[in-house]
Amino acid sequence: MPLAQVRQLPQQFMAWFRKLRPAARWVVVSAAALALAGLVALALAGRSGPQWAPLFTQLDPTDAAAIAGQLEEQGIPFQLAQGGQAILVPAEQVDRLRLDLAAQGLPRQGTVGLELLENMPMGATEFERQVQYLRGLQGELARTIGRLEGVEAARVHVVRPERSPFVSQQRPATAAVLVQLKPGAELEPEQVRSIMHLVASAVEGLKPEDVTVVDTTGRLLSAGVELAQEGTAVVPGDRFEVERRFEAELQRSLQTLLEQVLGPGNVIARVNAELNFDQQVVERHLFEPPADGGQGILRSIQELQETFTGQPAPGGVPGDSNIPTYPQVGGGTLDYQRSERTANYEVNQVVDRVQVAPGAVRRLSVAVVVNGDLTPERRQALQQAVAAAIGSDPQRQDQVEVVAMPFDTTVADRLQQSLEEERQAREATRRVALLAGAGGLALLALVLLVAAWRRRRLARRLLEAQAAGHGLPAVPGSTAGTVAAGPAGRGTAAVPGPGGPVPGPAGAAATGANGKAAEATVLEQVSELVKNQPEHVAQVIRSWLAERSAN
């Protein structure tokens, strides 16, 4: 419905209400009063009862039953809503009940955590303890994942194979996560990767790539997630994003520099970067002589001394005893001594271990296109400036090319022309609207002035005709008659009648002055005549119309 019609509704209602008979008006007023009283009574009745507020919503049936049992034991009234998934309690008790139920571990969101180990019997076996621990661990992980943004509920299943004494027969642990998303929510690959790492970090021997994440619609969310490979610190899926951000930042800096020299729109710069994401560790061992020039710190000494004094042993040729030999000639004592000393000294050893962070620039390629022609000197200067701006390194074989050629601005010129035409059209439309509005206002003012002038003229002629036909006062300031005194003590204006001036009651002399006061008096007199003598007014109008038709 247009706004103008909405604004006219109260006026239309008042016009309709004035046309009703008095009895009908009373009926309408009484019905409106009764409806208003009913609404007030309903509001007061609603406030008089308890105000229900949700204690918990989207509860698991197990948690809903446990909470309802606690409320019944405490004698607190409650209501079930949303098919038993929500519990409503009096609004003033919501905060206290939430604290009391939280102290009892409610709601558990349909899962049990490590509180299972608190009720383990004394005679439980090791297998039963492991099973309860695994159940509790799965519940704790489900609760943690359920607190993530966009996740409404989660279930976690962990498989821990039995340990084998043979390394070749050991199998890795695996896990599966089922997430129920909130309506309209989607998990980003980074969130899925976080869930996989969270579960893997909480289970011994579990790797992130052995964690499967599925949603309730059956989609395998972990299939499209790439994890960091061994020896690298960046996920393969993030390498392209890192390179793209690096190229965009380098390109923006270069574009800003060149536009300040060549002007906006006269240069285009593109950067292609190749980054090295390999994680390297370089370890070097350096041995240096002592700083004081000495032999260093003595580490160990080994000394060997041999001494022999006496007759030497008879000699012969080794071998078979049947072989004839010649006896040795000579004799005497033999004196033998040998001494050996070995000293080990410590030397200065420097171990230099350098870990190269991933993300180093392996190679850069930059292309710059300039609008127009360039001299060889200017081209070389621009190439040197670009190489210095990007940090070009000849050892990396970085490539920088500066090319000059005219740009094709046909599309830009057409777009600029169309924008200019649209701007001119909007300006013309605005001017036409302003002129039309001004003309409309001027026409409205003229109509109002003409209507006011005709209304005043009609009022004057009506008073003159009434005074001429019935001896009523004439219009102040009118030239149709003169002032005369009558016996009644009220000053009236004598107006021409059939037999001359008609005298009125005596009173104060009327001056016939013009002004706003006289016009107000005319309107008041017309209103009084219409209210008090409607038949006479109608007769005067008829006579006035008859005179106009006769003329």
Mean pLDDT of 63-92: 85
Helices (H), 391-507: 410-470
The pairing of strands 297-310 and 280-288 is: unpaired
Q: Which helix (H) or strand (E) holds 337?
A: strand 334-346
> Is residue 489's pLDDT more than 50?
no
CA distance 385 to 383: 5
246 vs 483, more confident? 246
pLDDT at position 449 is 82
pLDDT at residue number 271: 92
Distance CA 544, CA 468 (A): 11
DSSP letter, residue 92: G
Check residue 445 and give its pLDDT. 82
How many helices (H) and strands (E) in the chain?
A: 11, 17
pLDDT of residue 136: 86
Most confident of 45-54, 163-172, 327-336: 163-172
Domain boundaries, the chain: 8-46, 52-104, 114-163+170-226, 243-270+361-409
Q: Is the pLDDT of residue 434 over 70?
A: yes
Name the CA dihedral angle for 63, 67, 69, 71, rounded to a multiple of 10 degrees.
-170
Q: What is the pLDDT of residues 438-457, one digit of tens each?
A: 888 888 888 888 777 877 77
Expressed in angstroms, the distance from the first to the final Cα of the chain is 50
Burial of 364: CB neighbours in 10 Å, binned 0-12, 13-18, 19+:
buried
Across the range 133-147, mean pLDDT stands at 87
CATH class of the 52-104 domain in this structure: alpha beta
| 3-state DSSP helix/strand/coil % of the chain, to nearest 5 | 50, 20, 30
pLDDT reported for residue 120: 75
Q: What is the mean pLDDT of residues 129-134?
A: 85
What confidence tier does 494 reach under pLDDT thresholds 50, 70, 90? Answer: very low
The mean per-residue pLDDT over the stretch 128-132 comes to: 84
Q: What are phi and psi of 411, to 5 degrees?
A: -65, -40
Task: Write the pLDDT tens digit of every residue in 348-398.
Answer: 777 888 777 777 888 999 999 998 888 989 999 999 999 999 888 888 889
Report the pLDDT averaged over residues 128-155: 87
Mean pLDDT of 427-447: 84
179, two tokens: 């997430």
pLDDT of residue 332: 61
> At 47, is the pLDDT very low, low, confident or very high (cuts 50, 70, 90)?
low
> Model-level pTM greater than 0.85?
no
Q: Residue 38: count other Cβ atoms within 10 Å of its Cβ.
A: 10
Average confidence (pLDDT) over 221-242: 66
How confident is the model over 240-286, as pLDDT tens digits? 778 888 899 999 999 999 999 888 888 999 999 888 877 778 888 77
* 205 pLDDT higher than 80: yes
CATH superfamily of 114-163+170-226: ANL, C-terminal domain (3.30.300.30)
Q: Are 523 and 459 in contact (CB under 8 A)?
A: yes
- Name the percent of the chain lying above pLDDT 90: 10
The answer on pLDDT for 321 being more than 60 is no
Query: How sure is the predictor about 38, in pLDDT bands with cuts at 50, 70 and 90?
Result: confident
On average, the pLDDT of the chain sits at 76
Q: Who wins on pLDDT, 314 or 496?
A: 314
In the predicted structure, residue 123 carries a pLDDT above the cut 50: yes
Four-way CATH pick for 243-270+361-409: 3.30.300, 1.20.120, 1.10.287, 1.10.10: 3.30.300
The C-alpha atoms of residue 506 and residue 490 are separated, in whole angstroms, by 4
Which pLDDT belongs to residue 475?
42
The C-alpha atoms of residue 492 and residue 509 are separated, in whole angstroms, by 8
What is residue 284's predicted lDDT score, i.e. its pLDDT? 81
CA–CA separation, 200 vs 382, rounded Å?
A: 53
Higher pLDDT, 467 or 509: 467
- Residue 226 CA to residue 238 CA, distance in Å, equals 9
The residue among 138, 51, 66 whose CA lies nearest residue 102 is 66
Comparing 52-104 with 114-163+170-226, is the CATH topology the same?
no
pLDDT at 317 over 50: yes
**pLDDT above 70: percentage of residues in the chain:** 77
The answer to whether 77 touches 65, Cβ cutoff 8 Å, is no
| Tokens linked to 202 | 């909480």
Interval 173-197 mean pLDDT: 89
Written as six digits, the tokens of 226 are 């790439």
Both tokens of residue 300?
């160990």
Residue 131 pLDDT exceeds 50 = yes
Give the residue-averaged pLDDT of 484-500: 37
